[in-house]
Structure 1
Amino acid sequence: MTDKDKTVPIKVPQFPPPHLVLWGLADGWPITRLRRAYRAAWQRRFGPHDFLRTAVGWLLWPFISLGFAVRTGQRLGGPIARSGGPGVARQILEQAWISLWHRISPRYYYIFELHRPALRWRAAEYLTRVETKSGIYRALKQRGDRSSFVRINDKLSFAFFYGRNGLRVAPVFAAFRAGLRVGNAGDGRLPEGQDLFVKKIEGRGGIGAELWLAQAHGRYRNTAGEECTREDLVSRVLGYSKQADYLIQARLVNHPDLTDLTPGALSTVRLLTILNEQGEPEAVNAAFRMAISETSAVDNFHAGGIAAAVDMATGALGAATGLGLGGDFGWHETHPLTGGRIRGRVLPYWPEAVALAIAAHRLVAPRVMVGWDIGFLPDGPCLIEGNTGPDADIHQRTELRPLGNARYGELLAYHMERRLGLRG
């Protein structure tokens, strides 16, 4: 098999440009193997025009990254300096050095808290969205007859597939595409007295999600205080579907042990599973997400929520934090709105949730990696969604460590080397 036969459809942005030389990486590290495989992937795919474009990126990146560092430091550096961290000028210089040496955009200095010396000296081990979502994940995508693939990111297909296979999912009452109801998605009737959740079939980040609470006389009220009848709600979602596909599901409620960790929205764990060297799904990282606004319908980390790392062995939570941008640098032992204790809280049904994720992954192998959103209901865990390009930021942020040399990086390196023919 030639190198041309082993190309993969990755995207390589011009800024930051990819690593040409792997500075500061030991030969035996998983992150070294992973970055070598990533470098082989883009070099095999590149033609003269691509190399020229990337060369321009290498030449301009020192100046562009310095500009980003100045802007980001001026916007976010004050709280770090006031809390005993380095001064703003030093933060800017550290950002510029990290972005130049390790190709880490300046904003990740705050997301990963690289102002902490112990973490800054591990900067080479961090993975960013440029490397994962645009590169590694795309390289590891399933190939072949796509008609046989389960479209995990399609929430309607997800609910149908796992429901048919006996795994617990949220009930779907109706779905709508292009202004029309999908005939085989429920019977289109909304049960009396049932709280409802409306979301895009292929949406991300909780955008477009709405919670509608059942009221008397067949009416519903959303978190913004709007009210409508059952018929009006269906018409409303039909209208939404002219722009994007939507579905209506049952609203799920949190286990009683978790009600003080949310102002109302369902809290979910993002649990990563990756096929191991034996081809079996392995649970590697997890983060528990919580809404902090009474008007939020979702717990999404990138939509202003907070998250806490989960101990994979016990299901115990660490302190929670926001994304680390916009000044949300705090770490919370208790929920900032409800006061419920976070650190040390053990998630109910944790072994069952891990087993559910592994069982769900087995049904879609040989897909290499999935990020599962799982809710903890009063009577057990429930699959909410699956994500084929799960974000590593939430785990590296909440765990206060890079994943490049963790099991996550080790398994991705193994699969990249196999995909590119770099190992037997």
Structure 2
Amino acid sequence: MGRYFGTDGIRGVAGRELSAAFALSVGQAAGTVLAAHGRRPKVVVGRDPRLSGEMLEAALVAGLMAAGADVVRLGVMPTPGVAYLTKALGADAGAVISASHNPVEDNGIKFFGPDGFKLSDEDEAAIEVLLDGDPDRRAARSGLEIGRAIDHFEGGQKYLAFLKSAAETSLEGLTVVIDCANGAASPYAARLFVDLGAEVKTIFCQPDGTNINVGCGSTQPEALAKEVVRLGADVGLAFDGDADRLIAVDETGEIVDGDYLLSTFGLLWKEAGRLSGDTIVSTVMANYGLVKFLERHGIRLLMTRVGDRYVVEAMREGGYVLGGEQSGHLVFLDRATTGDGLLTAVLLLGALKRAGKPLSAFARTWEKYPQVLKNVRVRSKEGWEEEPAIREAIAAAEAALAGAGRIVVRPSGTEPLIRVMVEAPAPEQAEAIAAQVAEAIARVRGESVG
């Protein structure tokens, strides 16, 4: 059986791996699985503004309706907005058409369950069985059994109202520069923060279908940092293509990633008695400096596999309220079911306003261990960990670090990459060790190292 769902849904190049015909089949399979739960399914569907989004939306919606599901089209909507509205509108599932921070050529399909969390592994597996099996097993309704679709652009207002309700104070007096990555946050971010009282300047908030994530957003916040300094703004906010990530910029132009945001919220929430179990959940990619900093303040960092779904699973199992990733996915489980860049920004700006201090006073209070990340583009990710040459290279790296650093080697959940991350006391050592392991992978499996 093919494995279509990665850690963040189905991904591929639009028109190639993710063709209109395949999206139609995904819709039929998903509608069939949802209908098996015993009633006519209702599915909300949103997308980011990349060029292929309308094509894939039309195909996915057609497949869902062909299987007898009713569809609520939200139009351009952040991924966390779809998660919120799936539950708020009483839907059986939600679907997002987006490739998040990936290039514009890519796209993806991700599903949420009725509770707003990612669709269950069981339902994903059932969809994959239908995708691989006889097409006749996918429901094909006729006549009055066919589903219908309605446009519900009021969903955007409902999502904005939710975000505003999370604000704990007015943002009057703050000047904020917003970079929407020409993505799904573009119709919402400026309105949100203006309504909360901030003075707002925007860059990269004019999507044309082809410019999403191009030289901007959470993966490339350098232009935002320059603009914050030029304008003398208090904070910069960079979202990714589907707005489930936030990377901030402080008033000096320093970039504040997810690790620094977690330490900021961790200290503030522990002091306020809001940090359940005095624990933050992150992934194995969290910087070792964050681990040591939180230890000094009596906070435990619980590490999971890479992927926000694993962070959320650990949070739910342990009853923890704060988690996230270095990439800027932050999850506030007492308020939301998934990472939400806009919600993170609302809570961050509110905390700064109440404290009366700049972001630099909270975020850059500890030093990161030098960290090097190498991406090896591979022909296949399957079975890479069983290759003797790769295992030997990793063992040699661990011996060289001798407990003074760490190495993490893992496959990407969304791309044909194996990632090598090394932290060491000196950047030269981290670079050398990462290069050695990446080259060993490239010799056996690779196409290129980046």
TM-score normalised by length of structure 1: 0.25
TM-score normalised by length of structure 2: 0.24
Higher relative contact order (CA 8 A, sep 6+): 1
